[in-house]
Amino acid sequence: MNHFLDIHKTKPDALRNIIDNARLIKNARAGRPKGALDDEQALTGHVVALIFEKPSTRTRVSFDVGVRQMGGQSMVLSGSDMQLGHGETIADTARVLSRFVDLIMIRTFDESVLHEMAEFATVPVINGLTDRTHPCQIMADVMTFEEHRGPIAGKKVVWTGDGNNVCASFLHAAAQFGFDLTFTGPVQLDPEMEFVGLARNAGVSVQIERDPIKAVDGADLVVTDTWVSMHDAQSSRERRHNMLRQYQVNDELMRHAKPDALFMHCLPAHRGEEVTSEIMDGPKSVIFDEAENRLHAQKAIMRWCLDI
Ligand code: CP
Ligand code: NVA
C-alpha cells in the first residue's frame, strides 16, 4: 500500500519521481506539452475523502481542485462533523471509509491518528499535516526551489524561528534529497533531535546556530513559518513572540544570505511577525509559487499512491 505518511518513510526514488511528475503535470496544464503527463482522466471513477481536524485554505483547495482536474470526485469532511469527533474509533472510521472511497487525506493533531488511519485503511492514506510533520508542503517546496534554481542537492537551506512540524519535514527532505540544513532559533524551540540525527545519519550537514545573521551566511534558501502553530496553546503566544522576535526574516537578515537566495514560507503568514511584507512581496520571495505547487505536487502524490 502506497501511503504517503512522511518524507523519511518514502523511498528517495519515489520522492524524485513524484517531483518530476509534478513538473510534467504542471507543464501539461500550462500548455507546454513537451514530455507532458496528461492527467485529465487519471482519477476518473475515483472518490477521495479529505478529512480536516484543523483549519486549512491551501491544503483543502489544492487537494480538492487536484482531484477534480484529474476527473475524480472529492468530499471535504470536517472531523468534528464526523462520528470520529464523537467517539467512533479511528480504526473503525478507516475501515468504513475504505469501503466507500479510493483514497484518504487527513489533517489532524497527534500523528498517532494518521498512523492508525493508515494501519486500518485498505486504501492509501496521505498526511495533510500533523502536529509533527507536513510532508506535502515540503514536496511542493523542493519542486519550487528546483524550478527556480535547479537541483536542491548540496544547497544550503536555513530554517529560522520555531523548529516545528514544517521544519521537521524539511529535515526529512534534507536527508532524502541531499541538502544541508541550518536551524536558527531559540533553544526552547529546537527541532526534534531525532529528526536532526536522522538527517545527519544520511550524511547531510545539519547545523544549529543561535545567531540568525551567522546562520544565513551562504544560504541558498531561507525559510520560516508562523511563531504559533495550530496545535500550540494560545497562552504561549506572548512567550513565543518574545523568544522568536530576533529570528524575523527581514531585509537586514536576507542581505547576509547569498545574493540570489530565495525566501519561502508555507503560509499562512503573519506579516510583521515572522517575516516583513517587504520580504513577502519582494523579488526573493517564491511564496505563491510554493502555494501553487501544492496542487501539482499533490496530484503526483495521489497518482503515486494509486499507482496510476
Ligand atoms: N500551507 C498550508 O498547509 O496551508 P493551509 O493551512 O492553508 O492548508
Ligand atoms: N506550522 C503551521 C503550519 C500551517 C500550514 C501549523 O501547524 O499551524
215-244: pLDDT as tens digits? 999 999 999 999 999 999 999 999 999 999
- Closest to 135 in 3D by CA, of 296, 290, 4: 4
- Count how many Cα atoms sit within 13 Å of the Cα of residue 163 in the half-sphere of its side chain: 23
Beta bridge partners of 126: 4, 105
The question of whether 305 is a catalytic residue gets the answer no
The pLDDT tens digits for 259-305 are: 999 999 999 999 999 999 999 999 999 999 999 999 999 999 999 99
* pLDDT at position 36: 67
Active-site annotation holder among 294, 298, 303, 305: 294
* pLDDT at position 32: 65
**Dihedral angle computed from the Cα positions of residues 108, 112, 116 and 117, in that order, rounded to the nearest 10 degrees:** 10
Structural contact between residues 268 and 1, judged by C-beta atoms closer than 8 angstroms = no
Active-site annotation holder among 58, 132, 137, 305: 137
- Count how many Cα atoms sit within 13 Å of the Cα of residue 24 in the half-sphere of its side chain: 16
Query: Which residues touch 259 (CB under 8 Å, ≥6 apart)?
Result: none
The pLDDT tens digits for 132-160 are: 999 999 999 999 999 999 999 999 999 99
Residue with the larger pLDDT of the pair 52 and 29: 52
Lowest-confidence region among 6-10, 25-29, 94-98, 121-125: 25-29
What average pLDDT does the segment 79-105 reach? 95
- Closest to 62 in 3D by CA, of 133, 143, 137: 137
Cell numbers standing for residue 301 = 502524490
* pLDDT at position 35: 64
The question of whether 81 is a catalytic residue gets the answer no
Structural contact between residues 166 and 156, judged by C-beta atoms closer than 8 angstroms = no
- Closest to 294 in 3D by CA, of 132, 97, 119, 143: 143
* Cα gap 184→195, rounded to integer Å: 15
- Closest to 115 in 3D by CA, of 94, 87, 143, 146: 94
Structural contact between residues 48 and 67, judged by C-beta atoms closer than 8 angstroms = yes
Q: ω into residue 268 within 30 of 0, thus cis?
A: yes
* pLDDT at position 53: 96
Tell whether ligand 2 has an atom less than 6 A from the beta carbon of residue 165: yes
* Cα gap 16→152, rounded to integer Å: 11
* pLDDT at position 85: 84
- Closest to 222 in 3D by CA, of 259, 192, 190, 195: 259
Ligand 1 atom with the smallest distance to the CA of 230 is 6
**Percent of the chain predicted with pLDDT > 70:** 98
Query: Which residues touch 129 (CB under 8 Å, ≥6 apart)?
Result: 54, 56, 59, 107, 108, 136, 137, 165
What average pLDDT does the segment 50-65 reach? 98
Q: Which amino acid is residue 298, in one-letter code?
A: Q
Ligand 1 atom with the smallest distance to the CA of 128 is 3
pLDDT confidence tier of residue 29, bands split at 50, 70 and 90: confident
* pLDDT at position 37: 72
Query: Which residues touch 245 (CB under 8 Å, ≥6 apart)?
Result: none
Average pLDDT, the chain: 96
Residue 39 reports pLDDT greater than 90:
no
* pLDDT at position 140: 98
Q: Give the residue whose CA is nearest to atom 1 of ligand 2.
A: 229
Strand pairing class (262-265; 180-184): unpaired
The question of whether 225 is a catalytic residue gets the answer yes
Ligand 2 atom with the smallest distance to the CA of 229 is 8
Q: Which ligand is nearest to the CA of 60?
A: 1
Residue-wise burial string across 135-174, b where 16 or more C-beta atoms lie within 10 A, e elsewhere: bbbbbbbbbbbbeeeeebeebbbbbbbbbbbbbbbbbbbb
Tell whether ligand 2 has an atom less than 6 A from the beta carbon of residue 226: yes
* pLDDT at position 178: 98
pTM, full prediction: 0.97
Q: Give the residue whose CA is nearest to atom 2 of ligand 1.
A: 58
